[in-house]
């Protein structure tokens, strides 16, 4: 099986990491569209154009049979059009894990950390309205401008990143939030820092595992033999932090190799 995955940067590799845990005998082609990052600062039309360009590249060059849009912003902007355009392709998008957060919370106090674009997006607003209807839930939302850029630079636990997070997490601490939705695929990379700043036991909800399970289910329906090791190919359209790639996969064993290439898509 050949699987394409893309994001504006390194965040979508957290989804690839989740795939490695359960998917076997496949080639994964990841595109970090760093030349056009962050997507949150682009128009809907610009994001859609990039999504189509990257999808065409993955189909033409690698004959993928499945595509994962490992970005909330890109999913909101493009998934409907991509599904209409590429009817035979398995296409899985990303959205904040609001439903599992509702199931996990013990106090009905939930927090959401996300990019400004995700919180303003129609898809997120519809999800909130649908899932919170009739529920007594205290929701603390926090946009995190600049956090993706910090993570892309490898500033995982720097004083600047911690200062940003302390300010953003203070209202959640005040509201005794016990479950936080990580509404961006980059944010699982700073899970330990978030837990440290919160200072008490919290549950962090990320979507990588759910996406991996969904792909697994659909791939078996298409007669994928889930045996053997994985090969992972990482493409970047601009500069990329190789040290962060190594950090993401440093404790993972179930793949043959990772190939990193810079490619003008």
Mean pLDDT rounded to a whole number for the chain: 91
Q: Any idea which residues carry the catalytic annotation?
A: 71, 184
pLDDT value of residue 219: 87
Which of 83-87, 161-165, 211-215, 240-244 has the least mean pLDDT? 240-244
Could you state, in order of their start, the residue ranges of all structural domains in the chain? 2-94+208-262, 98-205
- Cα gap 8→31, rounded to integer Å: 8
Query: How do residues 78-104 score in pLDDT, each as one tens digit?
Result: 999 999 999 999 999 998 899 999 999
CATH number of 98-205: 3.40.50.1860
Does 141 have pLDDT greater than 60? yes
Q: Which residues of 149-186 are buried (b: 16+ CB within 10 A; e: fewer)?
A: ebbbeebbeeeebbebbeebbeebbeeebbbbbbbbbb
Same fold for the pair 2-94+208-262 and 98-205: yes
Which of 18-32, 157-171, 190-204 has the least mean pLDDT? 18-32
Choosing among 3.40.50.1860, 1.25.60.10, 3.30.470.20, 3.40.50.1820, the CATH entry for 2-94+208-262 is 3.40.50.1860
Tell me, rounded to whole angstroms, the distance of Cα 17 from its chain centroid. 11
């Amino acid at each position: 099986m050949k699987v394409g995955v893309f994001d504006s940067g390194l965040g979508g590799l957290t989804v690839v990491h989740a795939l490695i845990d359960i998917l076997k005998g496949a080639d994964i082609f990841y595109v970090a569209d760093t030349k056009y990052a962050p997507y949150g600062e682009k128009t809907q039309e610009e994001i859609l154009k990039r999504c189509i360009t990257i999808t065409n590249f993955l189909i033409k060059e690698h004959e993928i049979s499945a595509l994962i849009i490992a970005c909330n912003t890109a999913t909101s902007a493009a998934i409907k059009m991509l599904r209409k355009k590429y009817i035979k392709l398995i296409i899985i998008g990303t959205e904040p894990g609001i439903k599992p957060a509702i199931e996990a919370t013990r106090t009905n106090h939930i927090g959401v950390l996300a990019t400004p674009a995700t919180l303003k997006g129609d898809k997120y607003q519809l999800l909130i309205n649908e899932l919170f209807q009739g529920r007594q839930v205290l929701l603390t939302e926090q946009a995190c401008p600049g956090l993706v850029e910090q993570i892309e630079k490898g500033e995982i636990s720097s004083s600047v990143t911690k200062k940003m997070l302390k300010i953003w997490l203070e209202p959640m601490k005040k509201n005794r939030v016990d479950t936080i939705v990580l509404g961006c695929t980059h944010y699982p990379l700073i899970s330990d820092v978030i837990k440290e700043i919160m200072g008490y036991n919290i549950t962090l909800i990320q979507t990588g595992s759910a996406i991996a399970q969904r792909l697994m289910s659909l791939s078996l329906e298409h007669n994928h033999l889930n045996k053997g090791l994985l090969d992972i190919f990482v493409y970047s359209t601009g500069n990329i932090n190789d040290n962060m790639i190594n950090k993401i996969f440093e404790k993972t064993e179930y793949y043959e190799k990772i190939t990193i290439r810079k490619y003008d898509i």
